Structure 1
Amino acid sequence: MSTAEHVNRLGLMLRLRQQEVDRLQTELAAKERLKARYRNTLTRMDALRDAVGASGAQAHPALALNVAGYKDHLQVLRASQAQDLALAEAEARQGAEALRAASLRQEALAQVRAQSADLLATHLKRQEQKRTDEMATQAWLRGGA
């Protein structure tokens, strides 16, 4: 495989790595939005619980039982949401780590491609200089003969 083909293939691989990085960035952004939704839900549930007040402060015993049941139900839902938030945070950490790793791989490949492109450019310059020197030598020999 020639150096030019090598540089072209590295360029293709670099574009594929960039697509992977872009995909992982999109996934991480979605996970961050999901975490924000869970946090907002937890905040709203806390506000609902606080808005009801103490169950013992109710004038009627049935109403006090109703408020207590409502608060218990809210607490169960809140615990479920908190667990979902913890899972979403763990997934977001994994996604961030995958993004970091993909970015490092992409950057390393970009450096390899840049080095290969520099080598190719140096090689092409040498070939051009060699052709120029050969033509100058031929012209000098024709002029001197």
Structure 2
Amino acid sequence: MTRSTTIRSLGTLVQLRSTQVERLEADLASQEATRVRYQNNLDRLTALTHGSGASGALVMNPALALNCGAYKQDVMALADSHRIDLSLHQANMAVSQGRLKDAWVGRELLGKVLARTQDAHAAENERATRKREDDIATQSWMAGRTA
């Protein structure tokens, strides 16, 4: 495999890794939007729970007090369910962040390998060019010396 083929292959790998990083970043942004929605829902459910007042204050009408108590219990149960879902979602986000970090590191490492390979190839070409120029200069000098 020639050095230029290796450079092309490494360039393709870097592009693929960049695409993977971009895809993981987009996925993480989507997960963050979902996390914000969960958090906003929890805030609203908490406000509903506190806004419904004390169910014991409605002693004049026991059916109304019972209804208010059941409502608050249902809202609190829904909030607890959302908290569990949010914590699971945050755990998934942590895994996604780890994948993103690994993909980013992989892309950076491949990029450094590509840069080193390109530098070595450029140095090799420069040496070959200098050698040709030196050979031509030597031949010219030798031709001028014998003439």
TM value normalised by structure 1: 0.97
- 1:140 is aligned to 141
- 1:104 is aligned to 105
1:127 aligns with 2:132: no
- 2:92 is aligned to 91
- After TM superposition, the structure 1 = structure 2 runs for residues 55-94 of structure 1, keeping only pairs within 5 Å, are 55-58=55-58, 59-94=60-95
Q: Which runs of 5+ in 2 are unaligned?
A: none
Runs of 4+ in 1 over 4 A off after TM superposition: none
- After TM superposition, the structure 1 = structure 2 runs for residues 12-31 of structure 1, keeping only pairs within 5 Å, are 12-31=12-31
Letter in 1 for 2:110: L
Q: CA–CA distance in 2 between the matches of 1:6 and 1:83?
A: 49
Shift in Å at residue 66 of structure 1? 0.7
Shift in Å at residue 92 of structure 1? 0.5
Shift in Å at residue 141 of structure 1? 1.7
Deviations 1:76-96 (A, max 9, x none): 111111111011100100000
Q: CA–CA distance in 2 between the matches of 1:87 and 1:96?
A: 14
Deviations 1:15-74 (A, max 9, x none): 000111111111111111111110110000000010001101113111101101111110
- 2:52 is aligned to 52
Shift in Å at residue 8 of structure 1? 1.2
Q: Cα RMSD between the aligned structures?
A: 0.8
- 1:115 is aligned to 116
Letter in 2 for 1:128: T
- 2:41 is aligned to 41
Look up the SS of the partner of 1:53 in the other structure.
coil
Q: Which runs of 5+ in 1 are unaligned?
A: none
Letter in 1 for 2:52: V
